[in-house]
Amino acid sequence: MSFAFNEDQKLLAESVDRFILDDYSFEQRRRTIAMDGGFDKKNWERFGALGWLALPIPEEFGGLGGSTVDVAVLLEGFGRGLVVEPYQSTIVLGAETIALAGRVDQKKSLLEKIAEGKKLISFAHTEPRSRFNLQHVELTATKDGESYKLNGEKAVVHNAETADLIIVSARTSGDIRDDDGITLFLVDPKTEGLEFRSYPTIDGLRASELSFDSVVVDSEQLLGGLNTGLNVLERVIDRASVLLCAEAAGAMDTAVKLTVDYIKNREQFGQPIGAFQVLQHRSVEMLGAKDFSRALTYRAAGLVDEGSPNDRARAVSAAKVEAGLGGKLIGQEGVQLHGGMGMTDDMAIGHFFKRLTMIDVLFGNVDFHRRRFSQIS
C-alpha cells in the first residue's frame, strides 16, 4: 500500500496548512473558543466555500465523494492548529451516518445543506454507563402509535447546543447490551422533553449531557432500519477513530516542532539546552512516535474504504493504540522539556497535550483497542 499523496491530496494539504498558518494562530484559536457556541461561524462558512465540508459526502448528494484518506489529510492539517470547529460531529459522524443509513429523501434533504455549511449535526451515542461498548444502549424508544417516545440519557455529546439535528441511538428491543435492537433517530434539539447541560471540555471543545423525558419522535425520523443500528455505528465509529488518529498525527507534529524549537532557543549553563545529548535523544523518541503513529493511521485509512471488516477493525485498533501511546509520550515529554512554562495556559504545548489526551479516550482508549485487536481473528 502506497502512502504517497496524489496531486489533489497535496493541494488539499497545502491549502489547510496555509489556513492554519495565516488564519488560525494560537491566539486566534483562543478567541474562537470564547465565541458563542465555541467556534467561529465565519470559519465554518469558509470551510464550505473551500469544499472541505463536502469532501466526504457522495457526489450525487452535493459532495465531492472523497475517500477516508482524503479526509485524513484534511484532519491532519486541522490537528496542527487544534481546530475547534465541529467538523468531527457534523461531517465525520453526522454526514457519514446519514450517508450510510438514511433514506434517499433524507440524504437529499440533509447532505447538500451539510456540504454547504447550512446545517449542523450532533451525534449522541455515548451514555453515562456505556464506557466504550457500542452495543451498550440504555436509552429506550417505545412505540406509541405512529411515533416513538425516547427516555434516557446521553453523555459527552459534542456541539449539541449548536446543532440543527441530533442523531440519537436508542434501544427499541432486547437487553441493554444486545447487538440487535439498536435504532437510530434524527431528533430536533428543540423537541419538548429534551434537556441540555452544556459545558467546555478540557481541550477547548463544547459538549453536553442530554436528558430525554418522553421525547416524541415521528417514525419518519428513523435513520436506517429498525433494530439494525449497530452495524452502522461500528462502521461510522471505526472511520471516525481513524480520522481522530489523523488529527492526533497533526497535533503530535506541531507538538514536536514546538518542543524542538524551544530547546534550541532556551539557554542554560551558557548554551542551548538542546545541545545536551539526553534531550536530543528524547526529541528523537518523540519524532519516532509521531512518524510511527502517522504511518499506521494512513494504512488504516486505506483499509477503512477497501479492506474486509476484520482487516478494517484490526487496522483501526492498531492505529488508535499507537495514537494513544504516541500522544501520551509526546505530550508528556513536550511539557517536561518546556519546564514549568509548559504547565501554563499561555504556552501552546499544554493545549496540544490536552487534546492528545482527549483523543486517546474518544471511541476507546489504548487498553480497549489492545483488547479488541487481540480478539479479532
Looking up cell 435492537, which residue turns up? 181
CA 310/CA 296 separation, integer angstroms: 16
Read off the pTM.
Answer: 0.95
DSSP letters of 289-342?
HHHHHHHHHHHHHHHHHHS-HHHHHHHHHHHHHHHHHHHHHHHHHHHHHHGGGG
343-359 average pLDDT score: 94
Structurally, at CATH architecture level, domain 230-375 sits in Up-down Bundle (1.20)
Q: pLDDT at residue 1 above 80?
A: no
> Which listed CATH number (1.10.540.10, 2.40.50.140, 3.20.20.70, 3.40.50.150) goes with 7-119?
1.10.540.10
DSSP 82: T
Confidence band, pLDDT 50/70/90 cuts, at residue 2: low
pLDDT band at 372 (very low <50, low <70, confident <90, very high): very high
Can you give the residue ranges of every domain in the chain? 7-119, 122-227, 230-375
pLDDT of residue 41: 96
- Burial of residue 293 (CB within 10 Å: 0-12, 13-18, 19+) is buried
Give the model confidence (pLDDT) of 114-168 as tens digits: 999 999 999 999 999 999 999 999 999 999 999 999 999 999 999 999 999 999 9
Q: Do domains 7-119 and 230-375 have the same CATH topology?
A: no
Return the CATH number of the domain spanning residue range 122-227: 2.40.110.10
Query: Which one, of 170, 163, 161, 162, lies nearest residue 216 by Cα?
Result: 170
Mean pLDDT across the chain: 95
Tens of pLDDT, residues 248-291: 999 999 999 999 999 998 878 888 888 889 999 999 999 999 99
Q: Are 103 and 82 in contact (CB under 8 A)?
A: no
- Which positions ≥6 away from 10 have C-beta within 8 Å? none
- Distance separating alpha carbons of residues 355 and 59, to the nearest angstrom: 32
Query: How far is 75 from 65, CA to CA, in rounded Å?
Result: 16
Name the β-bridge partners of 272: 267
